[in-house]
Structure 1
Amino acid sequence: MSLPLQGIRVLDLSRLLPGAYASQMLADYGADVIKVEEPRTGDYARTMPPTDQNGINLYFQAINRNKRSMTLNLKTESGRALFLRLVERADVVLESFRPGVMARLGLAYERLRAVRPELIYCAISGYGQDGPYSERAGHDLNYAGYAGLLHHLRDQEGRPMMPPTQFGDLVGGSYLAVIGILTALLGRQQTGEGRMVDVAMTEGLLSLLPLQIAAYLHTGKEPLPGRTSLTGDLPCYHIYETKDGQFLTLGALEPKFWHAFCTRIGHLELLPFHSPVGPDEREQALTILRNVFKTKTRDEWMAELGDLDSCVGPVYTLAEALNDPQMQARGVLFREAENAPPQLSTFPRLSDVPQTMRSKPPALGEHTSAILQEYGFQVEAIEQFRKEGVI
């Protein structure tokens, strides 16, 4: 079966999460992703804990399927020359070094573009390729703080919370990289020219706050954390605890959903509290709803309200989410073989594109010889590169 990105070759120089998850998405849709790694050490994620019985990191296995791996020492002149040979037949180069690293290696975008004008060059970094912070070290949590996201992510005591996932790496890095790469590839069909894609994870996190930013830009006042219409101000759009200590989500933003909900629970006096109200009325409505929801367990409420058009849902654990009938019906997990561990599918779904693991996450340098032979190198030359520490 022909996959949508079949024929697209990606040279992935990235390490750890953002680049690896991005290139796996491209690989799942058919791209030939070559993971170019440093000899002997490879991607740091390979051996970081937690590991399986073979010493391979569990997270590495989750984000590196359907790729090939070759080793290449870019710190050597021969290694850089080999990389330029690879670029001659590549469509995309993906890297996640600090800005300036590739230039110091003599492999900046301008150099690669001279070799292949059609090349899409995607660089993922914390703060972008320029600006005063461009070479500053950072991780996901730092980017979330700089972007203002943590200011709006607060616990019940009003303190900034640790994010439940790596928003900067995954959304600001992986997803924006895929969007940028695919957009540039589409543009290349019109112009025949490649582009550089500059992905700054901090900017990606800013893109998650369009409503708060719009309010600030138009009023000069930043919304209070947890007090906008969609972050906790409205009683009709809130999280409520149930009798058994579990939680439900209520998202009855439209009047028809709110009316259906209030009617079913027998509290029509709440109907006027659908729209933004004063603080006293808000607390009154919240108190009523908190007391109502604590009269039954989460599952009892779902049995009563689950099929009602009122936008009520459970707060699941991961185990519950993955075993929910909707998730099961949609096949969010798949197995490469009957006894193999399940894998998370790639989203979005494309018609006639099955979720498959065409190849397991590669061993370090597993495909080095095969790839170099594809470029015309003989076995003797490849062995010489190996002796010299080039591969």
Structure 2
Amino acid sequence: MAGPLQGIRVIELAGIGPGPFAGMMLSDHGAEVIRVDRPGARIDARDPLLRGRRVIGVDLKSPQGQALVLDLVKGADALFEGFRPGVTERLGLGPAQCHAVNPALVYGRMTGWGQFGPYAQAAGHDINYIALAGALHGYGRAGDKPTPPINMVGDFGGGGMMLAFGMVSALLHAKTTGQGQVIDCAMTDGAAALMAMIWGFRANGIWKDERGVNLLDTGAHMYDTYACADGKYISIGSLEPQFYALLLHKTGLVDDPDFAAQMDSGRWPQLKDRLTSLFATKSRDEWCEIMEMTDICFAPVLSMAEAPHHPHNVARQTFVEADGVMQPAPAPRYSATMSDAPRMTKAADTDAILADLGYDAARIDSLKAAGTVR
């Protein structure tokens, strides 16, 4: 088996970050993804974002290169790109040009600000997109400045993952109607969508714009990380009353009246100080012996070096090693269409891809001589 997207062909116009992540997701779940890169571009054989691809180097600024990509489009189900708005149109590879040769094509566009709006032509990065979306403001502790959560929320959650979802949705529509369409995937939109629950909390008056004082943003004593005696950390998420009661039982605080009013936010700072002192009395492993695999809602905070070796992750094969590179395994899992093991992309497949298009040896040699492909 090769995943539920087996038989789907996707053209990826090479970019960075969220685009390759969308390509990885589609490839992980069975799609054939052909990455169109610059001629002679270096392929990073250790990058999980590029796994599972076939790669061809094409000069997109040349008429021959543009014609070659349109030949690829004719036999594809989808294409996605991550350029600024208008770039692919100027290359002769915009939605109109692609739909002229393949009306059923799903055309994905990955940008930070979107295809229109005052910021559309401006440069930016994850930190900027989640800032404008109202997400970055909420990350950080009380009294401190906003802290970007690496680039998980903009590039990958609100960007690449949203694009992959949008493309699969549009592919389903195209399969039933024969009609392709364009997906305008903006990281600002995606990051805002990821905040839907918090917007609901705010509407119900249970979330403040002030950072680090709310139930889920390190404001509460029963939902935070704590340092242990060995300098390692644990995470506590004892929100529900029964889970909180077990936390107090396991920490010896069940009869302490200070901890009885769980949701009295005015007492949270004081209770957090108490827990900080308590958790610092034992090592992380000692707290794991007391709390792990209970209904406290507990887990040790593992480093990237540690996570692949935790028994739970080992049992589920959450991480895999491919060509000597430790990396996350494809997710989610299916009962009937198991995805293949990841395959690292090491070299371009230019000749094979062109041969699949019906190009003969003389034509391939001519394209190489002209610098159109490499």
Q: TM-score, normalised by structure 2?
A: 0.91
Query: How many residues are aligned here?
Result: 370
| Distance change in 2, residues 1:115/1:354 (3 Å) | closer
Counterpart Cα distance in 1 of 2:84 and 2:203: 31
Contact 1:212 1:222 in 2 (8 A): no
What residue in structure 2 maps to residue 356 of structure 1?
341
1:311-350 aligned at under 5 Å gives the runs 311-336=297-322, 340-350=324-334
State the SS of the aligned residue for 2:127.
Answer: helix
Give the deviation of 1:70 after TM superposition: 1.0
Percent identity of equivalent pairs? 34
Runs of 4+ in 1 over 4 A off after TM superposition: 215-222
Give the deviation of 1:157 after TM superposition: 5.3
Q: Does 1:242 align with 2:228?
A: yes
Residues 286-323 of structure 1 show CA distances to partners (whole Å, capped at 9, x for unaligned) of 23322322222222111112243211221221222221
Bigger drift between 220-229 and 378-387 goes to 220-229
Counterpart Cα distance in 2 of 1:11 and 1:66: 13
The code of the aligned residue for 1:345 comes to: A
Counterpart Cα distance in 2 of 1:349 and 1:102: 35
What residue in structure 1 maps to residue 369 of structure 2?
387
Counterpart Cα distance in 1 of 2:203 and 2:117: 22
Contact 2:291 2:298 in 1 (8 A): yes
Counterpart Cα distance in 1 of 2:45 and 2:69: 27
1:196-345 aligned at under 5 Å gives the runs 196-216=182-202, 222-268=208-254, 269-275=257-263, 277-279=264-266, 281-336=267-322, 340-345=324-329
What residue in structure 2 maps to residue 375 of structure 1?
357
| Distance change in 2, residues 1:303/1:73 (3 Å) | same
Counterpart Cα distance in 1 of 2:125 and 2:250: 47
Counterpart Cα distance in 2 of 1:12 and 1:108: 13
| Distance change in 2, residues 1:190/1:64 (3 Å) | same
Give the deviation of 1:220 after TM superposition: 12
State the SS of the aligned residue for 2:367.
Answer: helix
State the SS of the aligned residue for 2:23.
Answer: helix
Give the deviation of 1:75 after TM superposition: 1.1
Which structure ranks higher in relative contact order (CA pairs < 8 Å, sequence separation ≥ 6)? 2
What residue in structure 1 maps to residue 24 of structure 2?
24
The code of the aligned residue for 1:349 comes to: R
Residues 82-127 of structure 1 show CA distances to partners (whole Å, capped at 9, x for unaligned) of 2211111111101000010011122211221121111000010010
Residue 112 of structure 2 is aligned with which of 84, 108, 126?
Answer: 126
Give the deviation of 1:57 after TM superposition: 6.8
| Distance change in 2, residues 1:284/1:82 (3 Å) | closer
Give the deviation of 1:210 after TM superposition: 2.1
The code of the aligned residue for 2:369 comes to: K
What residue in structure 2 maps to residue 53 of structure 1?
none
State the SS of the aligned residue for 1:319.
Answer: coil
Contact 2:2 2:339 in 1 (8 A): no
State the SS of the aligned residue for 1:273.
Answer: coil
What residue in structure 2 maps to residue 52 of structure 1?
none
| Distance change in 2, residues 1:248/1:342 (3 Å) | closer
Q: Structure 1: 5+ residue runs without aligned partners?
A: 47-55
Give the deviation of 1:221 after TM superposition: 8.4
Contact 1:259 1:271 in 2 (8 A): no
| Distance change in 2, residues 1:283/1:4 (3 Å) | closer
Counterpart Cα distance in 2 of 1:117 and 1:5: 20
Bigger drift between 375-384 and 211-220 goes to 211-220
Contact 1:249 1:313 in 2 (8 A): yes
Give the deviation of 1:166 after TM superposition: 4.1
| Distance change in 2, residues 1:216/1:181 (3 Å) | same
The code of the aligned residue for 1:353 comes to: M
Contact 2:45 2:346 in 1 (8 A): no
Q: Structure 2: 5+ residue runs without aligned partners?
A: none
| Distance change in 2, residues 1:89/1:185 (3 Å) | same
Contact 1:258 1:271 in 2 (8 A): no
